[in-house]
Amino acid sequence: MLDYDPLHPPNWQDPYPTYARLRDEAPVHYAEQTGTYCVSRYEDVSRVLRDPETFSSVGAFEIMMKARSSSIGPRDVFEIARFLYRSRLNPLRMRKKPPVSIITSDPPQHDALRAIVNRGFTPRQVRSWEPRMREIVDGCMHKLRSGEPFDVVRDLAVPLPVSIIAELLGVGPERHADFKRWSDDIIAGSSGSTRTETLAPFLRAMGELTSYMRDVADERRRKPGDDVVSILVDPQHGDALDAGVLAQFVIVLLVAGNETTTNLIGNGTKALLDHPGELARVLDEPELLPNMIEEALRFDAPVQFVFRRTTRPVELAGTTIPESASVTVLLASANRDERQFEEPDRFDVSRETKGHLGFGLGIHFCLGASLARLEARIAFESLLPELRDLKRSAAEAPFVDSYLVRGLHRLELVPTAEVLREG
Ligand code: HEM
């Protein structure tokens, strides 16, 4: 009998053997502690994601909050009050009409929201950010080229996405460090192991971010620029986002677009270092790079799973899931399903990766996929040639403390013995 719970994963350093057992022994497994049905096979995961009428996103992610803080202390009460004040939210109004977020809405509301935010992420817009990405990456690589100790995560994979998100929202460099702190505190407070201790850092980050973004939105309404916030609040483009919805959207962007891209670059580098033969292939054939990035998303997905809630009783892989039940959709397991991908546990930079679920599927397919792909391509174009002469400094690199997003906390590189001898 399998004892798996997605919010309390038994072997976080390597969850893949557990996913394999789930697919074989209990493809729709009920995790009692959290009260959620875990779907692990590719075919079933795809079916869930393609059917938002049955598998709704409304309230689906609330399970993360329920499993958070078991006891609320005086510090938390103070932070709740400060959060409501900072974000100018009225708890009575929120109860009646909670602020909508793209990731937790269904059609038709989702379609309307998605149409508005798509305006900020057109292919032309994404391409226009390329020169700035190259500049940022060059700045990050300077440290490595000047012989200083270099940590792929700290010195490249973290600063690139956080600077891009902040800049595309029109946020000045003086607030980039705050952006990273808000993102870390929101992720740790919602899915890290300290989530059961106190709500305070999480609420503080949410309150500071919401209040800051409200000010930015007010400013852009008065004086539009060429950033995404200006596009989203501009009524000339049709419907504009109101302040509360904009703040929710920015929270999603920050959390969904920041740590995830960091982890794609970190996990991709780790996979290449773990598979020197595959690294040699990409170095010999640089045209394999875009496919290598897709393979990294398949092989070690930065977002391990997403949640849904059933709107009716439904049968899946022989199990009946009742109405209004929580469903955990294991993207990372589907990506390793041998029923879909041949030898799924092999990292293969030239494999057919079509259909991997690293960015999800269906109506909620990642809005920032092309942005993340471009950031990863530019980062790897600079990093790959350097990897010839580098190795990791310690064999074990710890993973970020989160049950939901998977990525390395640190990945320090040092020159190989040959380079040191030549030097
Ligand atoms: C490697 C990096 C990334 C990964 C692995 C990733 C993964 C995902 C996944 C799995 C979903 C689906 C959620 C669901 O079905 O409930 C999603 C949605 C989303 N992502 Fe990403 N993401 C990445 C980067 C980004 C970036 C850079 C942005 C924006 C700047 C972004 C913004 C969003 C938004 C707004 C949604 C919600 C879309 C909707 O509900 O219609 N993501 N992402």
Q: What is the mean pLDDT of the chain?
A: 87
Which pLDDT score, from 0 to 100, does residue 97 have? 57
pLDDT reading at 14 higher than 70 = yes
Alpha-carbon span 420 to 276, nearest angstrom: 19
191 found inside a domain: yes
User: DSSP assignment, residue 410?
Assistant: -
Give the chain's length: 423
- Does residue 302's CB lie within 6 angstroms of at least one atom of ligand 1? yes
The protein residue whose alpha carbon is closest to atom 37 in ligand 1 is 103
Task: Find out whether 423 and 284 touch, Cβ atoms under 8 Å.
Answer: no
2 found inside a domain: no
151 found inside a domain: yes
Which pLDDT score, from 0 to 100, does residue 171 have? 82
**CA torsion through residues 363, 368, 371, 374, sign:** negative
6 found inside a domain: no
- Token pair of 376, please? 């990863």
382 found inside a domain: yes
Instruction: Determine the atom of ligand 1 nearest the C-alpha atom of 264.
Output: 1
- Does residue 367's CB lie within 6 angstroms of at least one atom of ligand 1? yes
Beta-carbon contacts of 91 under 8 Å, excluding residues fewer than 6 positions away, are 84
The percent of residues in the chain predicted with pLDDT above 70, rounded, is: 86
- Does residue 52's CB lie within 6 angstroms of at least one atom of ligand 1? no
pLDDT interval class at 226 (50, 70, 90): confident
pLDDT digits (tens, 9 = 90+) for 294-342: 999 999 999 999 999 999 999 999 999 999 999 999 999 999 999 999 9
Number of structural domains in the chain: 1
- Does residue 358's CB lie within 6 angstroms of at least one atom of ligand 1? yes
- Token pair of 84, please? 């409501």
Which pLDDT score, from 0 to 100, does residue 192 have? 67
Task: Give distance in angstroms: CA of 140 to centre of ligand 1.
Answer: 25
- Does residue 261's CB lie within 6 angstroms of at least one atom of ligand 1? yes
Weakest mean pLDDT among 138-147, 170-179, 231-240: 231-240
User: DSSP assignment, residue 100?
Assistant: P
pLDDT reading at 88 higher than 70 = no
pLDDT digits (tens, 9 = 90+) for 161-219: 989 988 888 887 888 888 888 888 887 777 666 666 667 778 888 888 888 888 888 88
Alpha-carbon span 268 to 290, nearest angstrom: 12
The percent of residues in the chain predicted with pLDDT above 90, rounded, is: 52
Which pLDDT score, from 0 to 100, does residue 62 have? 82
Task: Find out whether 4 and 38 touch, Cβ atoms under 8 Å.
Answer: yes
Alpha-carbon span 83 to 155, nearest angstrom: 32
- Does residue 114's CB lie within 6 angstroms of at least one atom of ligand 1? yes
Task: Give distance in angstroms: CA of 8 to centre of ligand 1.
Answer: 23
275 found inside a domain: yes
Which pLDDT score, from 0 to 100, does residue 349 have? 98
User: DSSP assignment, residue 41?
Assistant: S
Which pLDDT score, from 0 to 100, does residue 13 have? 82
Task: Give distance in angstroms: CA of 117 to centre of ligand 1.
Answer: 13
Residue 120 CB burial class (10 angstroms; 0-12, 13-18, ≥19): buried
pLDDT greater at residue 423 or residue 287: 287
Task: Give distance in angstroms: CA of 302 to centre of ligand 1.
Answer: 10
The protein residue whose alpha carbon is closest to atom 34 in ligand 1 is 367
9 found inside a domain: no
SS3 content of the chain, % helix, strand, coil (to 5): 55, 10, 35
pLDDT reading at 421 higher than 70 = no
pLDDT reading at 24 higher than 80 = yes
- Does residue 58's CB lie within 6 angstroms of at least one atom of ligand 1? no
State the residue for tokens 């294991």. 330
11 found inside a domain: no
Structural domain for 383, as ranges: 16-422
Which pLDDT score, from 0 to 100, does residue 42 have? 98
Instruction: Determine the atom of ligand 1 nearest the C-alpha atom of 301.
Output: 5
The protein residue whose alpha carbon is closest to atom 20 in ligand 1 is 366
Q: What is the CATH number of the domain that holds 84?
A: 1.10.630.10
Task: Give distance in angstroms: CA of 368 to centre of ligand 1.
Answer: 6
Which pLDDT score, from 0 to 100, does residue 339 have? 98
The residue to mutate among 45, 254, 367, 377, having the most atoms of ligand 1 within 8 angstroms of its beta carbon, is: 367
The protein residue whose alpha carbon is closest to atom 27 in ligand 1 is 257
pLDDT reading at 92 higher than 80 = no
Which pLDDT score, from 0 to 100, does residue 168 have? 86
Task: Give distance in angstroms: CA of 409 to centre of ligand 1.
Answer: 20
Instruction: Determine the atom of ligand 1 nearest the C-alpha atom of 105.
Output: 40
Q: 10 Å Cβ neighbour count for 330?
A: 30
Task: Find out whether 421 and 319 touch, Cβ atoms under 8 Å.
Answer: no
pLDDT reading at 95 higher than 60 = no
Instruction: Determine the atom of ligand 1 nearest the C-alpha atom of 61.
Output: 16
- Does residue 48's CB lie within 6 angstroms of at least one atom of ligand 1? no
